Structure 1
Amino acid sequence: MIIDAHCHVWPDEIARKVLADRPVGLDPVHDGTLDGLRRTMDNAGIDMAMTLAVANAGRTVWRTNEFVGRVDRSRFLPFGTVHPDLSVEDNLAALRENGIMGVKLHPLFQSVAFSDTRTREILTALAENDVPVIAHVGSGGTEEQNDRGAPRDLNAMMKHIPGLRLIAAHYGGYQVLDEAEQWSVGTGVYLETSWPPSMGTLPVERIRWIIREHGADRVVYGSDWPMTDPATEIAAIRALGLSADEERGVLGGNLARLLRLELPANT
Protein backbone atom coordinates (compact mmCIF):
# COMPACT_ATOMS: atom_id res chain seq x y z
CA MET A 1 0.00 0.00 0.00
CA ILE A 2 1.22 3.50 -0.88
CA ILE A 3 0.15 6.42 1.31
CA ASP A 4 1.10 10.01 0.48
CA ALA A 5 1.71 12.02 3.66
CA HIS A 6 1.78 15.46 2.06
CA CYS A 7 -1.03 16.67 -0.22
CA HIS A 8 -2.36 20.23 0.02
CA VAL A 9 -5.99 20.75 -1.01
CA TRP A 10 -8.35 23.69 -1.27
CA PRO A 11 -11.99 24.20 -2.24
CA ASP A 12 -12.37 24.25 -6.03
CA GLU A 13 -13.31 27.92 -6.13
CA ILE A 14 -10.13 29.15 -4.40
CA ALA A 15 -7.49 26.57 -5.41
CA ARG A 16 -6.49 28.45 -8.57
CA LYS A 17 -6.08 31.76 -6.73
CA VAL A 18 -4.03 30.21 -3.94
CA LEU A 19 -1.68 28.46 -6.33
CA ALA A 20 -1.25 31.60 -8.45
CA ASP A 21 0.35 33.29 -5.43
CA ARG A 22 3.00 30.60 -4.87
CA PRO A 23 6.70 31.65 -4.74
CA VAL A 24 8.68 31.75 -7.96
CA GLY A 25 10.39 28.40 -8.53
CA LEU A 26 7.59 26.43 -6.89
CA ASP A 27 5.14 26.23 -9.74
CA PRO A 28 2.28 23.77 -9.21
CA VAL A 29 2.01 20.81 -11.56
CA HIS A 30 -1.54 19.88 -10.51
CA ASP A 31 -4.67 21.86 -9.64
CA GLY A 32 -4.96 21.54 -5.85
CA THR A 33 -8.56 20.24 -5.85
CA LEU A 34 -9.83 17.04 -4.28
CA ASP A 35 -10.95 15.67 -7.65
CA GLY A 36 -7.55 16.52 -9.09
CA LEU A 37 -5.83 14.73 -6.23
CA ARG A 38 -7.98 11.63 -6.68
CA ARG A 39 -7.08 11.48 -10.39
CA THR A 40 -3.40 11.95 -9.59
CA MET A 41 -3.52 9.17 -6.99
CA ASP A 42 -5.21 6.79 -9.42
CA ASN A 43 -2.60 7.50 -12.09
CA ALA A 44 0.31 7.07 -9.65
CA GLY A 45 -1.01 3.96 -7.88
CA ILE A 46 -1.47 5.74 -4.53
CA ASP A 47 -4.03 4.14 -2.22
CA MET A 48 -4.53 6.89 0.36
CA ALA A 49 -3.35 10.44 0.99
CA MET A 50 -3.21 12.86 3.88
CA THR A 51 -5.15 15.93 2.75
CA LEU A 52 -3.66 19.02 4.35
CA ALA A 53 -5.59 22.25 4.87
CA VAL A 54 -4.00 25.33 6.44
CA ALA A 55 -5.63 28.49 7.82
CA ASN A 56 -3.42 31.58 7.65
CA ALA A 57 -5.61 33.44 10.17
CA GLY A 58 -7.60 32.43 13.21
CA ARG A 59 -10.88 33.56 11.67
CA THR A 60 -10.63 30.92 8.93
CA VAL A 61 -9.75 27.95 11.15
CA TRP A 62 -13.32 26.68 11.47
CA ARG A 63 -14.30 26.81 7.80
CA THR A 64 -10.94 25.32 6.77
CA ASN A 65 -11.49 22.36 9.08
CA GLU A 66 -15.10 22.10 7.95
CA PHE A 67 -13.93 21.78 4.34
CA VAL A 68 -11.25 19.15 4.92
CA GLY A 69 -13.45 17.27 7.38
CA ARG A 70 -15.86 16.42 4.54
CA VAL A 71 -13.34 14.46 2.44
CA ASP A 72 -13.94 10.88 1.34
CA ARG A 73 -12.43 8.85 4.19
CA SER A 74 -11.94 5.78 1.99
CA ARG A 75 -9.11 7.58 0.15
CA PHE A 76 -8.30 10.72 2.13
CA LEU A 77 -6.98 11.27 5.67
CA PRO A 78 -8.06 14.76 6.80
CA PHE A 79 -5.36 16.89 8.43
CA GLY A 80 -6.73 20.25 9.43
CA THR A 81 -5.49 23.43 11.00
CA VAL A 82 -4.92 25.34 14.22
CA HIS A 83 -3.86 28.93 14.82
CA PRO A 84 -2.39 30.78 17.82
CA ASP A 85 -4.93 33.60 17.42
CA LEU A 86 -7.46 31.17 18.90
CA SER A 87 -7.46 29.64 22.36
CA VAL A 88 -6.29 26.09 22.82
CA GLU A 89 -9.89 25.07 23.59
CA ASP A 90 -11.26 26.70 20.42
CA ASN A 91 -8.59 25.04 18.29
CA LEU A 92 -9.39 21.63 19.74
CA ALA A 93 -13.12 22.16 19.26
CA ALA A 94 -12.64 23.09 15.59
CA LEU A 95 -10.76 19.83 15.06
CA ARG A 96 -13.00 17.59 17.11
CA GLU A 97 -16.34 18.85 15.83
CA ASN A 98 -15.24 18.48 12.21
CA GLY A 99 -13.81 14.99 12.66
CA ILE A 100 -10.22 15.98 11.87
CA MET A 101 -7.64 13.26 12.56
CA GLY A 102 -4.46 15.36 12.47
CA VAL A 103 -2.99 18.84 12.03
CA LYS A 104 -0.76 20.54 9.46
CA LEU A 105 1.46 23.29 10.87
CA HIS A 106 3.07 25.66 8.37
CA PRO A 107 5.48 28.31 9.71
CA LEU A 108 5.92 29.82 6.23
CA PHE A 109 2.25 30.73 5.83
CA GLN A 110 0.99 30.91 9.41
CA SER A 111 2.20 33.08 12.26
CA VAL A 112 3.41 30.00 14.12
CA ALA A 113 6.96 29.43 15.30
CA PHE A 114 8.44 26.41 17.03
CA SER A 115 9.96 28.72 19.65
CA ASP A 116 6.65 30.53 20.36
CA THR A 117 5.00 29.70 23.68
CA ARG A 118 1.54 29.85 22.07
CA THR A 119 2.53 27.29 19.44
CA ARG A 120 3.97 25.00 22.09
CA GLU A 121 0.81 25.26 24.19
CA ILE A 122 -1.33 24.16 21.26
CA LEU A 123 1.02 21.30 20.36
CA THR A 124 1.13 20.17 23.99
CA ALA A 125 -2.67 19.97 23.94
CA LEU A 126 -2.56 18.01 20.67
CA ALA A 127 -0.09 15.58 22.23
CA GLU A 128 -2.33 15.18 25.28
CA ASN A 129 -5.25 14.42 22.95
CA ASP A 130 -3.11 12.07 20.83
CA VAL A 131 -3.52 14.15 17.65
CA PRO A 132 -0.67 13.66 15.12
CA VAL A 133 0.96 16.67 13.46
CA ILE A 134 2.86 17.23 10.22
CA ALA A 135 4.93 20.41 10.12
CA HIS A 136 6.89 22.23 7.48
CA VAL A 137 10.46 22.43 8.73
CA GLY A 138 13.22 24.52 7.18
CA SER A 139 13.29 27.34 4.66
CA GLY A 140 11.36 28.42 1.57
CA GLY A 141 10.36 31.98 2.45
CA THR A 142 11.72 35.18 3.95
CA GLU A 143 14.32 35.17 6.70
CA GLU A 144 11.59 35.74 9.30
CA GLN A 145 9.47 32.90 7.94
CA ASN A 146 12.46 30.57 7.77
CA ASP A 147 13.36 31.31 11.39
CA ARG A 148 9.86 30.31 12.52
CA GLY A 149 10.41 26.79 11.18
CA ALA A 150 14.11 26.35 11.95
CA PRO A 151 15.22 22.75 12.62
CA ARG A 152 17.09 23.77 15.77
CA ASP A 153 13.89 25.21 17.25
CA LEU A 154 11.92 22.09 16.31
CA ASN A 155 14.52 20.04 18.13
CA ALA A 156 14.24 22.21 21.24
CA MET A 157 10.44 22.19 21.13
CA MET A 158 10.20 18.41 20.89
CA LYS A 159 12.22 18.05 24.10
CA HIS A 160 9.38 19.81 25.90
CA ILE A 161 6.57 17.83 24.19
CA PRO A 162 7.86 14.24 24.25
CA GLY A 163 4.50 12.59 23.56
CA LEU A 164 3.81 14.45 20.32
CA ARG A 165 3.51 12.31 17.18
CA LEU A 166 5.17 14.71 14.73
CA ILE A 167 6.14 14.29 11.10
CA ALA A 168 8.91 16.71 10.10
CA ALA A 169 8.41 17.49 6.42
CA HIS A 170 11.25 17.77 3.90
CA TYR A 171 13.65 15.49 5.77
CA GLY A 172 13.39 17.86 8.72
CA GLY A 173 14.90 20.88 6.98
CA TYR A 174 13.78 22.12 3.56
CA GLN A 175 16.66 23.75 1.65
CA VAL A 176 18.87 23.40 4.77
CA LEU A 177 19.86 19.74 4.70
CA ASP A 178 22.99 20.35 6.80
CA GLU A 179 20.78 21.74 9.57
CA ALA A 180 18.37 18.84 9.15
CA GLU A 181 21.19 16.37 9.67
CA GLN A 182 22.29 18.25 12.80
CA TRP A 183 18.91 18.90 14.44
CA SER A 184 16.31 16.49 12.98
CA VAL A 185 17.99 13.27 11.91
CA GLY A 186 18.18 10.76 14.74
CA THR A 187 15.56 12.50 16.90
CA GLY A 188 12.09 11.30 17.93
CA VAL A 189 10.25 12.83 14.97
CA TYR A 190 9.25 11.03 11.80
CA LEU A 191 10.93 12.39 8.66
CA GLU A 192 8.94 12.96 5.46
CA THR A 193 10.54 12.80 2.03
CA SER A 194 9.14 15.66 -0.07
CA TRP A 195 11.54 18.20 -1.56
CA PRO A 196 9.94 20.44 -4.23
CA PRO A 197 10.44 20.64 -7.15
CA SER A 198 11.56 16.99 -6.75
CA MET A 199 13.33 14.76 -4.28
CA GLY A 200 15.19 13.45 -7.31
CA THR A 201 17.36 16.59 -7.23
CA LEU A 202 19.01 15.39 -3.98
CA PRO A 203 22.09 13.12 -3.91
CA VAL A 204 20.96 9.50 -3.68
CA GLU A 205 23.80 8.44 -1.38
CA ARG A 206 23.13 11.27 1.07
CA ILE A 207 19.39 10.61 1.28
CA ARG A 208 19.90 6.88 1.70
CA TRP A 209 22.34 7.64 4.56
CA ILE A 210 19.84 10.04 6.20
CA ILE A 211 17.05 7.46 6.03
CA ARG A 212 19.14 4.72 7.58
CA GLU A 213 20.80 7.00 10.13
CA HIS A 214 17.39 8.20 11.29
CA GLY A 215 15.85 4.75 11.07
CA ALA A 216 14.05 3.68 7.91
CA ASP A 217 11.07 2.64 10.03
CA ARG A 218 10.53 6.31 10.98
CA VAL A 219 10.58 7.83 7.48
CA VAL A 220 7.38 8.38 5.45
CA TYR A 221 6.81 9.18 1.81
CA GLY A 222 5.23 12.52 0.92
CA SER A 223 4.98 14.32 -2.41
CA ASP A 224 3.95 17.91 -1.49
CA TRP A 225 1.18 17.69 -4.09
CA PRO A 226 0.26 19.78 -6.10
CA MET A 227 3.77 21.25 -6.23
CA THR A 228 5.30 17.97 -7.44
CA ASP A 229 4.18 14.92 -9.38
CA PRO A 230 3.69 12.00 -6.95
CA ALA A 231 4.61 9.33 -9.52
CA THR A 232 7.97 11.02 -10.04
CA GLU A 233 8.55 11.18 -6.28
CA ILE A 234 7.66 7.51 -5.81
CA ALA A 235 10.17 6.65 -8.54
CA ALA A 236 12.81 8.68 -6.66
CA ILE A 237 12.14 6.65 -3.50
CA ARG A 238 12.47 3.42 -5.47
CA ALA A 239 15.77 4.63 -6.95
CA LEU A 240 17.40 4.98 -3.52
CA GLY A 241 18.51 1.36 -3.33
CA LEU A 242 16.67 0.59 -0.10
CA SER A 243 15.82 -2.96 0.86
CA ALA A 244 12.35 -4.23 -0.06
CA ASP A 245 11.22 -3.97 3.56
CA GLU A 246 12.61 -0.45 3.95
CA GLU A 247 10.94 0.68 0.73
CA ARG A 248 7.56 -0.78 1.67
CA GLY A 249 7.77 0.95 5.03
CA VAL A 250 8.68 4.33 3.61
CA LEU A 251 6.00 4.20 0.91
CA GLY A 252 3.17 3.41 3.28
CA GLY A 253 3.75 0.92 6.06
CA ASN A 254 5.42 3.34 8.46
CA LEU A 255 2.71 5.97 8.06
CA ALA A 256 -0.06 3.40 8.49
CA ARG A 257 1.55 2.37 11.77
CA LEU A 258 2.07 5.96 12.94
CA LEU A 259 -1.55 6.88 12.21
CA ARG A 260 -2.82 3.51 13.52
CA LEU A 261 -4.73 2.78 10.37
CA GLU A 262 -6.64 -0.46 10.09
CA LEU A 263 -5.61 -1.87 6.74
CA PRO A 264 -6.49 -5.10 4.89
CA ALA A 265 -4.23 -8.00 5.84
CA ASN A 266 -2.68 -8.29 2.36
CA THR A 267 -1.34 -4.68 2.22
Structure 2
Amino acid sequence: MIIDAHCHVWPDHIAPQVLAQRPAGLDPRHDGTLDGLRRTMDEAGIDLAMTLAVATVAKNVARTNEFIGGVDRSRFIPFGTVHPDLPVAANIASLRDNGIGGVKLHPLFQGLSLADPAVHEILHGLAAEGIVVITHAGAGGDAQANDRGAPHHLRTIIDTVPGLKLIACHFGGYHRLDEAEQAVLGTDVHLETSWPPTLRGLDADRVREIIARHGASRIIYGSDWPMSDPATEIAAVRALGLPPADEEAILGGNLARLLGIAPLAHD
Protein backbone atom coordinates (compact mmCIF):
# COMPACT_ATOMS: atom_id res chain seq x y z
CA MET A 1 0.00 0.00 0.00
CA ILE A 2 1.28 3.45 -0.95
CA ILE A 3 -0.04 6.49 0.91
CA ASP A 4 0.97 10.04 0.04
CA ALA A 5 1.06 12.11 3.23
CA HIS A 6 1.35 15.54 1.61
CA CYS A 7 -1.18 16.66 -1.00
CA HIS A 8 -2.58 20.19 -1.03
CA VAL A 9 -6.00 20.57 -2.63
CA TRP A 10 -8.42 23.43 -3.21
CA PRO A 11 -11.90 23.79 -4.70
CA ASP A 12 -11.81 23.81 -8.49
CA HIS A 13 -12.42 27.55 -8.78
CA ILE A 14 -9.76 28.47 -6.20
CA ALA A 15 -6.88 26.16 -7.19
CA PRO A 16 -5.79 28.15 -10.29
CA GLN A 17 -5.75 31.40 -8.29
CA VAL A 18 -3.56 29.90 -5.55
CA LEU A 19 -1.12 28.20 -7.90
CA ALA A 20 -0.76 31.31 -10.07
CA GLN A 21 0.91 32.94 -7.06
CA ARG A 22 3.72 30.32 -7.16
CA PRO A 23 3.50 29.25 -3.48
CA ALA A 24 6.93 29.31 -1.80
CA GLY A 25 8.38 30.36 -5.15
CA LEU A 26 7.70 26.97 -6.75
CA ASP A 27 6.13 26.14 -10.09
CA PRO A 28 3.27 23.66 -9.74
CA ARG A 29 3.51 20.30 -11.49
CA HIS A 30 -0.22 19.53 -11.26
CA ASP A 31 -3.51 21.42 -10.98
CA GLY A 32 -4.35 21.26 -7.26
CA THR A 33 -7.88 19.88 -7.71
CA LEU A 34 -9.34 16.69 -6.26
CA ASP A 35 -9.93 15.23 -9.73
CA GLY A 36 -6.38 16.12 -10.70
CA LEU A 37 -5.04 14.41 -7.60
CA ARG A 38 -7.08 11.29 -8.28
CA ARG A 39 -5.66 11.07 -11.80
CA THR A 40 -2.13 11.56 -10.46
CA MET A 41 -2.65 8.84 -7.86
CA ASP A 42 -3.91 6.38 -10.46
CA GLU A 43 -0.93 7.07 -12.72
CA ALA A 44 1.58 6.72 -9.86
CA GLY A 45 0.02 3.66 -8.21
CA ILE A 46 -0.93 5.52 -5.02
CA ASP A 47 -3.74 3.95 -3.00
CA LEU A 48 -4.57 6.77 -0.59
CA ALA A 49 -3.59 10.39 -0.11
CA MET A 50 -3.82 12.80 2.78
CA THR A 51 -5.61 15.85 1.38
CA LEU A 52 -4.46 18.96 3.22
CA ALA A 53 -6.53 22.12 3.61
CA VAL A 54 -5.26 25.40 5.06
CA ALA A 55 -7.27 28.46 6.10
CA THR A 56 -5.09 31.56 6.03
CA VAL A 57 -7.55 33.52 8.21
CA ALA A 58 -9.84 32.44 11.02
CA LYS A 59 -13.07 33.31 9.21
CA ASN A 60 -12.32 30.70 6.55
CA VAL A 61 -11.82 27.76 8.92
CA ALA A 62 -15.45 26.60 8.83
CA ARG A 63 -15.87 26.57 5.05
CA THR A 64 -12.39 25.11 4.50
CA ASN A 65 -13.21 22.20 6.80
CA GLU A 66 -16.59 21.75 5.11
CA PHE A 67 -14.79 21.40 1.77
CA ILE A 68 -12.11 19.00 2.94
CA GLY A 69 -14.54 17.00 5.05
CA GLY A 70 -16.54 16.24 1.92
CA VAL A 71 -13.79 14.43 0.00
CA ASP A 72 -14.12 10.86 -1.22
CA ARG A 73 -12.99 8.85 1.79
CA SER A 74 -12.27 5.76 -0.34
CA ARG A 75 -9.19 7.53 -1.80
CA PHE A 76 -8.60 10.61 0.31
CA ILE A 77 -7.82 11.13 4.00
CA PRO A 78 -8.99 14.63 4.95
CA PHE A 79 -6.70 16.82 7.02
CA GLY A 80 -8.44 20.03 8.00
CA THR A 81 -7.43 23.37 9.38
CA VAL A 82 -7.35 25.34 12.62
CA HIS A 83 -6.38 28.91 13.39
CA PRO A 84 -4.98 30.50 16.58
CA ASP A 85 -7.42 33.41 16.27
CA LEU A 86 -10.25 31.00 17.10
CA PRO A 87 -10.86 29.43 20.53
CA VAL A 88 -9.59 25.88 20.92
CA ALA A 89 -13.13 24.54 21.35
CA ALA A 90 -14.29 26.21 18.14
CA ASN A 91 -11.37 24.75 16.18
CA ILE A 92 -12.02 21.24 17.47
CA ALA A 93 -15.78 21.54 16.93
CA SER A 94 -15.20 22.48 13.28
CA LEU A 95 -13.09 19.35 12.79
CA ARG A 96 -15.51 17.10 14.65
CA ASP A 97 -18.56 18.44 12.79
CA ASN A 98 -16.93 17.48 9.49
CA GLY A 99 -15.55 14.10 10.58
CA ILE A 100 -11.93 15.17 10.24
CA GLY A 101 -9.23 13.37 12.23
CA GLY A 102 -6.17 15.32 11.16
CA VAL A 103 -4.90 18.90 10.91
CA LYS A 104 -2.37 20.70 8.70
CA LEU A 105 -0.44 23.64 10.16
CA HIS A 106 1.40 25.94 7.79
CA PRO A 107 3.57 28.64 9.41
CA LEU A 108 4.40 30.16 6.02
CA PHE A 109 0.86 30.66 4.72
CA GLN A 110 -1.16 30.99 7.92
CA GLY A 111 1.11 33.52 9.60
CA LEU A 112 1.22 31.36 12.72
CA SER A 113 4.33 30.50 14.69
CA LEU A 114 5.10 27.07 16.07
CA ALA A 115 6.39 28.95 19.12
CA ASP A 116 3.09 30.77 19.78
CA PRO A 117 1.45 29.78 23.10
CA ALA A 118 -1.94 29.99 21.36
CA VAL A 119 -0.78 27.36 18.88
CA HIS A 120 0.50 25.19 21.72
CA GLU A 121 -2.90 25.47 23.42
CA ILE A 122 -4.55 24.20 20.25
CA LEU A 123 -2.03 21.37 20.01
CA HIS A 124 -2.83 20.28 23.56
CA GLY A 125 -6.50 20.16 22.58
CA LEU A 126 -5.78 18.20 19.42
CA ALA A 127 -3.60 15.73 21.33
CA ALA A 128 -6.39 15.17 23.84
CA GLU A 129 -8.75 14.35 20.96
CA GLY A 130 -6.25 12.00 19.27
CA ILE A 131 -6.11 14.23 16.20
CA VAL A 132 -2.97 13.81 14.08
CA VAL A 133 -1.06 16.98 13.15
CA ILE A 134 1.17 17.52 10.12
CA THR A 135 3.12 20.75 9.91
CA HIS A 136 5.41 22.49 7.49
CA ALA A 137 8.84 22.80 9.05
CA GLY A 138 11.79 24.89 7.93
CA ALA A 139 12.21 27.65 5.37
CA GLY A 140 10.25 28.71 2.33
CA GLY A 141 9.50 32.39 2.82
CA ASP A 142 11.05 35.56 4.18
CA ALA A 143 13.12 35.61 7.38
CA GLN A 144 10.09 36.07 9.64
CA ALA A 145 8.17 33.26 7.96
CA ASN A 146 11.20 31.00 8.14
CA ASP A 147 11.49 31.60 11.88
CA ARG A 148 7.82 30.75 12.45
CA GLY A 149 8.48 27.22 11.24
CA ALA A 150 12.00 26.79 12.59
CA PRO A 151 12.98 23.21 13.54
CA HIS A 152 13.89 24.14 17.11
CA HIS A 153 10.24 25.09 17.69
CA LEU A 154 9.34 21.51 16.82
CA ARG A 155 11.52 20.25 19.64
CA THR A 156 9.68 22.47 22.12
CA ILE A 157 6.36 21.07 20.91
CA ILE A 158 7.62 17.50 21.16
CA ASP A 159 8.83 18.11 24.71
CA THR A 160 5.78 20.01 25.99
CA VAL A 161 2.73 18.49 24.28
CA PRO A 162 2.53 14.89 25.51
CA GLY A 163 0.61 12.41 23.40
CA LEU A 164 0.64 14.54 20.26
CA LYS A 165 0.82 12.53 17.03
CA LEU A 166 3.05 14.84 14.98
CA ILE A 167 4.33 14.62 11.41
CA ALA A 168 7.00 17.16 10.43
CA CYS A 169 7.27 17.83 6.70
CA HIS A 170 10.55 18.02 4.81
CA PHE A 171 12.52 15.86 7.28
CA GLY A 172 11.73 18.48 9.93
CA GLY A 173 13.49 21.39 8.26
CA TYR A 174 13.12 22.47 4.63
CA HIS A 175 16.45 24.07 3.69
CA ARG A 176 17.32 23.99 7.42
CA LEU A 177 18.37 20.40 7.59
CA ASP A 178 21.38 20.90 9.87
CA GLU A 179 19.10 22.43 12.50
CA ALA A 180 16.49 19.72 12.00
CA GLU A 181 19.07 16.99 12.56
CA GLN A 182 20.05 18.63 15.84
CA ALA A 183 16.48 19.30 17.01
CA VAL A 184 14.33 16.34 16.01
CA LEU A 185 16.32 13.25 15.03
CA GLY A 186 15.71 10.44 17.49
CA THR A 187 12.46 11.92 18.86
CA ASP A 188 8.97 10.43 18.46
CA VAL A 189 8.00 12.82 15.67
CA HIS A 190 7.36 11.24 12.28
CA LEU A 191 9.44 12.85 9.53
CA GLU A 192 7.97 13.26 6.05
CA THR A 193 10.13 12.95 2.95
CA SER A 194 9.05 15.74 0.59
CA TRP A 195 11.69 18.20 -0.59
CA PRO A 196 10.23 20.22 -3.46
CA PRO A 197 10.80 20.36 -6.29
CA THR A 198 12.21 16.84 -5.69
CA LEU A 199 13.82 14.66 -3.05
CA ARG A 200 16.56 13.97 -5.58
CA GLY A 201 17.84 17.45 -4.71
CA LEU A 202 19.14 16.07 -1.41
CA ASP A 203 22.28 13.99 -1.18
CA ALA A 204 21.16 10.35 -1.08
CA ASP A 205 23.81 9.36 1.47
CA ARG A 206 22.57 12.07 3.80
CA VAL A 207 18.96 10.92 3.41
CA ARG A 208 19.95 7.34 4.19
CA GLU A 209 21.86 8.52 7.26
CA ILE A 210 18.85 10.52 8.51
CA ILE A 211 16.61 7.48 8.08
CA ALA A 212 19.10 5.27 9.92
CA ARG A 213 19.51 7.72 12.80
CA HIS A 214 15.82 8.51 13.21
CA GLY A 215 14.55 5.02 12.52
CA ALA A 216 12.79 3.90 9.34
CA SER A 217 9.64 3.21 11.36
CA ARG A 218 9.19 6.97 11.88
CA ILE A 219 9.73 8.08 8.28
CA ILE A 220 6.69 8.78 6.06
CA TYR A 221 6.55 9.31 2.32
CA GLY A 222 4.98 12.53 1.05
CA SER A 223 5.22 14.33 -2.28
CA ASP A 224 4.01 17.92 -1.65
CA TRP A 225 1.56 17.62 -4.54
CA PRO A 226 0.87 19.66 -6.68
CA MET A 227 4.29 21.32 -6.37
CA SER A 228 6.09 18.00 -6.87
CA ASP A 229 5.31 14.89 -8.90
CA PRO A 230 4.42 11.84 -6.75
CA ALA A 231 5.69 9.23 -9.20
CA THR A 232 9.06 10.97 -9.31
CA GLU A 233 9.20 11.13 -5.51
CA ILE A 234 8.26 7.47 -5.08
CA ALA A 235 11.08 6.61 -7.49
CA ALA A 236 13.45 8.76 -5.42
CA VAL A 237 12.56 6.83 -2.26
CA ARG A 238 13.05 3.52 -4.05
CA ALA A 239 16.38 4.69 -5.47
CA LEU A 240 17.76 4.96 -1.92
CA GLY A 241 18.24 1.19 -1.93
CA LEU A 242 16.73 0.65 1.51
CA PRO A 243 15.85 -2.82 2.81
CA PRO A 244 12.51 -3.85 1.22
CA ALA A 245 10.69 -3.87 4.56
CA ASP A 246 11.87 -0.33 5.34
CA GLU A 247 10.92 0.90 1.88
CA GLU A 248 7.44 -0.60 2.18
CA ALA A 249 6.99 0.94 5.63
CA ILE A 250 8.06 4.39 4.46
CA LEU A 251 5.85 4.35 1.37
CA GLY A 252 2.72 3.53 3.33
CA GLY A 253 2.97 1.13 6.24
CA ASN A 254 4.15 3.64 8.82
CA LEU A 255 1.42 6.14 8.00
CA ALA A 256 -1.23 3.42 7.92
CA ARG A 257 -0.20 2.42 11.43
CA LEU A 258 -0.19 6.02 12.68
CA LEU A 259 -3.65 6.70 11.24
CA GLY A 260 -5.11 3.30 12.13
CA ILE A 261 -5.71 2.27 8.50
CA ALA A 262 -6.16 -1.43 7.80
CA PRO A 263 -4.20 -2.97 4.90
CA LEU A 264 -6.06 -2.85 1.59
CA ALA A 265 -7.42 -6.06 0.09
CA HIS A 266 -4.73 -6.29 -2.58
CA ASP A 267 -1.84 -5.84 -0.07
Question: One fold, TM greater than 0.5?
Answer: yes
Residue in structure 2 matched with residue 44 of structure 1 by the alignment:
44
Question: Which residue is equivalent to 1:124?
Answer: 124
Specify the SS of the correspondent of 1:82: coil
TM-aligned CA distance change 1:167 to 1:200, over 3 Å: same
Residue aligned with 1:12, SS: coil
* Equivalent residues of 2:54, 2:104 under 8 A apart: yes
Contact 1:134 1:168 (8 Å CA) reproduced:
yes
Corresponding residue for 1:242? 242
CA distance in 2, matches of 1:216, 1:44: 22
Q: Could you tell me which residue of structure 2 aligns to residue 219 of structure 1?
A: 219
Alpha-carbon contact 1:107-1:149 (below 8 Å) kept? yes
Aligned position for 1:22? 22
* Aligned mates of 1:110, 1:65 — CA distance in 2: 15
Mean CA deviation greater in 149-158 or 235-244: 149-158
Q: d(CA) in 2 for partners of 1:106 and 1:63?
A: 18
TM superposition shift of 1:62:
0.4
Question: Deviation digits for residues 215-260 of structure 1, max 9, x if unmatched?
Answer: 0001000000000000000000000010000000000000000001
Alpha-carbon distance in structure 2 between the residues aligned to 1:253 and 1:14: 33
Matched position secondary structure for 2:14: helix
Tell me how far apart the structure 1 counterparts of residues 25 and 142 of structure 2 sit (CA, whole Å).
14
Q: Which residue of 1 aligns with 2:264?
A: 264
Query: Is 1:85 aligned with 2:79?
Result: no
Aligned equivalents of 2:23, 2:72: Cα separation in 1: 30
User: SS state of the match for residue 49, structure 1?
Assistant: strand
Query: Offset at 1:113?
Result: 1.1
Gaps of 5+ in 2: none
Contact 2:24 2:140 (C-alpha < 8 Å) held by counterparts: no
1:32 matched residue in structure 2? 32
Q: Which sections of structure 1, spanning at least 5 residues, go unmatched?
A: none
**2:235 alignment partner, SS class:** helix
C-alpha distance in structure 2 between counterparts of 1:200 and 1:19, whole Å? 23
**By how many angstroms is 1:22 displaced?**
2.0
| Distance apart, 1:56 and its partner CA | 0.3
Contact 2:62 2:94 in 1 (8 A): yes
Report if aligned partners of 1:171, 1:191 keep a CA contact under 8 Å in 2.
yes
Q: Structure 2: how far apart are the matches of 1:55 and 1:25?
A: 19
2: CA distance, partners of 1:129 / 1:23: 31
Report how far residue 157 of structure 1 moved: 1.7
3-state secondary structure, aligned to 2:110: coil
* Structure-2 separation of matches of 1:189 and 1:53: 21
1:65-102 C-alpha deviation (Å, 9 max, x unpaired): 00000000000000000000100010001100011120
- Give the Cα separation in 2 of the matches to 1:256 and 1:141: 31
Aligned to 1:66: 66
Could you tell me how far 1:30 is from its partner in structure 2?
A: 0.2
Give SS of 1:207's match.
helix
The amino acid across from 2:206 in the alignment is R
| Cα 1:5–1:97 shift into 2, 3 Å | same
Please state how far the C-alpha of 1:26 moved relative to its aligned partner.
0.7
Q: CA RMSD in A?
A: 1.0
> 1:25 Cα deviation (Å)?
4.2
Per the TM alignment, residue 263 of structure 1 is displaced from its structure 2 partner at its CA by 2.4
TM-score in terms of structure 2 length: 0.98
Name the SS of the counterpart of 1:35 in structure 2: helix
Q: Distance in 2 between matches of 1:89 and 1:48?
A: 30
SS across alignment from 2:82? coil
The answer to whether the 8 A contact 1:173-1:184 is kept is no
- Alignment match, 1:200: 200
Which residue of structure 2 aligns with residue 173 of structure 1?
A: 173
In the TM superposition, what whole-angstrom CA distance separates every residue of 1:98-126 from its partner, at most 9, and x where no partner exists?
Answer: 11120000000112211110000000000
> C-alpha separation between the residues in 2 aligned to 1:86 and 1:247?
40
The 8 Å contact of residues 139 and 175 in structure 1, kept in 2 or not, is answered as yes
